[in-house]
Amino acid sequence: MSLQVGEIEVNPAIIAPLDPGFLPASLFTREYRALVSASGGVPLRLALERGDGSISTFCTSVLTPSAGHLTATLLHVERIVKFLLWQRGGWKLQVGGPAEIGHHIKAVYSPTGARKFDYEFMGTVYERPFEVLVTSSESVPQAKEVTIPLGRHLDGYRVGFDLGASDRKASAVINGEPVFSEEVIWDPRNASDPDYHYQGVMDSVRRAAAHLPRLDAVGGSAAGVYINNRVRVGSLYRGVPPEQFAEKIAPLFLRIRDELGVPMEVVNDGEVTALAGSMSLGENPVLGVALGSSQAAGYVNREGNITGWLNELAFAPVDYSPNGPIDEWSGDCCGAQYFSQQATNRVASSSGIQFPEGLGLPERLIMLQKKIEGGDPLAAKVYETIGTYVGYGIAHYADFYELKHVLILGRVTTGPGGDIILNQAVEVLRAEFPEIASAVSIALPDEKNRRVGQSIAAASLPAIQGDK
């Protein structure tokens, strides 16, 4: 089956069973690079600067505008920029290469451009206006990355929690061993009262702490961006009015820390996903991808440290189809529509599987999981479709991360559907990208760790006084 966008034609070896229009970014990139190799190209260098002065760079080659295929080139570069923004983050982007390409990016990522959401989001995260500088490839600065250790503190009596869009998990941990874990259903995205978030977190912490002789430290993970325990942005808090966000949500975890009177650290849930994988595998680097209410991701480098990148791959594009599903928040086609409960619901509903009206996404997923446990072939096709997304998605991620271990987890992977996702992803890589299949290990954690491993790893985040 042939698919085409931006003058580039791709022919996937494996078609997503219930989404035949899925056009993998990894295949588009491969075809575009082949075109550049055959026709000759020029350097394009991108640099993203973050609030701490660290800089990430990305280097590639593109066709000159005069060489033709301009639509493909502009799409290729714009999608790379989009990926880098959400993978690495930054308040300033330097585009070094043909000026026509740079000016296109500057127009798209502007207050009035198609990527207005991204422009505003990055400005909010880094608390300064986002800007694009058009320059030459020679003038783009060198990379200046900063890495820091994350967690791995196992001593003492700890509570770890993980805040998702449909449930919150909490674990009580004694010297690295869990003694209690539970999940509580909640609906934070529709909560306009900031006290809903405060009360929910405190309830989970206290319920877990009741299983400990004392509380020494609390660690947490949650969707969104957190800097020094302050909430910068996050989909969990979308229902809270802006003025109350600044007053009550931004300092939420500082308040909780002070009331509990113990060391506390809260970071992005994706980072804890990667940390959990690194701790269980004992090897690095690790990319953790959680398929939950949305998509979470995190990365631990070969030294076992985190990078200071955003790793918000829920907003990173993996499908270049012009008819791909649009995320209602960002207004773009991005990862959350392919690696999440949203994705299983979208694919299942489009295939003809019917759910009772008004049923929430978590309950719909449970229905789907019961269907596959009962041997429903259409439900199996849903998971094969998600697995196809994952396989082609990992191939695309390999352009932006050094990969050795990829850990797939989250509520969507619970039960036999998780094995179908994994097997289909591996099949895609073996068929299309054998060099990646042979070099990268993709795995699911065991059933227990799929559901509560994140909150247990979160418990290791803070150091207790006297730790080294």
SS (H, E, C) 26-91: HHHHHHHHHHHHHHCCEEEEEEEECCCCCEEEEEEEECCHHHCCHHHHHHHHHHHHHHHHHHHCCC
Supply the pLDDT for residue 394. Answer: 98
Q: What is the pLDDT of residues 149-202, one digit of tens each?
A: 889 998 999 999 999 888 899 999 999 899 999 999 999 989 999 999 999 999
Q: What is the pLDDT of residues 326-355, one digit of tens each?
A: 998 899 999 999 999 999 999 999 999 999
Supply the pLDDT for residue 274. Answer: 86
C-alpha span between 102 and 441 (Å, rounded): 37
Higher-confidence position of 140 and 308: 140
C-alpha span between 333 and 314 (Å, rounded): 10
* 151 shares a domain with 132: no
Structure tokens that stand for 67 in this block: 């060489």
Supply the pLDDT for residue 234. Answer: 82
* 279 shares a domain with 131: no
Query: pLDDT band at residue 148, thresholds of 50, 70 and 90?
Result: confident
The answer to whether residue 10 sits within a structural domain is no
Please say if the pLDDT value at position 416 is more than 60: yes
Least confident of 99-103, 213-217, 359-363, 372-376: 359-363
CA 92 distance to own-chain centroid? 21
Nearest-5° Cα angle at 365, 364 to 367: 65
Model confidence, pTM: 0.88
Please say if the pLDDT value at position 468 is more than 80: no
Query: pLDDT band at residue 277, thresholds of 50, 70 and 90?
Result: confident
Supply the pLDDT for residue 434. Answer: 98
105, 139, 173 - which closes a domain:
139
C-alpha span between 150 and 214 (Å, rounded): 24
Mean pLDDT of the chain: 93
* 389 shares a domain with 281: yes
* 160 shares a domain with 88: no
* 154 shares a domain with 45: no
Please say if the pLDDT value at position 207 is more than 70: yes
CATH of the domain at 113: 3.40.140
Range(s) of the domain holding residue 112: 40-139
Query: pLDDT band at residue 447, thresholds of 50, 70 and 90?
Result: low
The answer to whether residue 24 sits within a structural domain is no
Beta-sheet strands, E only, within 302-437: 305-306, 405-409
* 406 shares a domain with 347: yes
Supply the pLDDT for residue 296. Answer: 87
* 221 shares a domain with 179: yes
Supply the pLDDT for residue 441. Answer: 95
Q: What is the pLDDT of residues 118-133, one digit of tens each?
A: 999 999 889 899 999 9
Q: What is the pLDDT of residues 31-84, one digit of tens each?
A: 999 999 999 999 999 999 998 899 999 999 999 999 999 999 999 999 999 999
Supply the pLDDT for residue 455. Answer: 72
The number of folded domains in the chain is: 2
Supply the pLDDT for residue 336. Answer: 94
Q: What is the average pLDDT across 281-303?
A: 90
C-alpha span between 412 and 342 (Å, rounded): 10
Please say if the pLDDT value at position 420 is more than 70: yes
139, 161, 177 - which closes a domain:
139
The answer to whether residue 446 sits within a structural domain is yes
* 132 shares a domain with 244: no
* 344 shares a domain with 225: yes
Higher-confidence position of 222 and 257: 257
107, 139, 171 - which closes a domain:
139
* 415 shares a domain with 445: yes
For the beta sheet containing 157-163, the strands, ordered from the edge strand earlier in sequence to the opposite edge, are 177-185, 167-174, 157-163, 217-222, 264-268
The answer to whether residue 409 sits within a structural domain is yes
The answer to whether residue 133 sits within a structural domain is yes
* 185 shares a domain with 74: no
CATH of the domain at 375: 3.30.420.40
* 243 shares a domain with 106: no
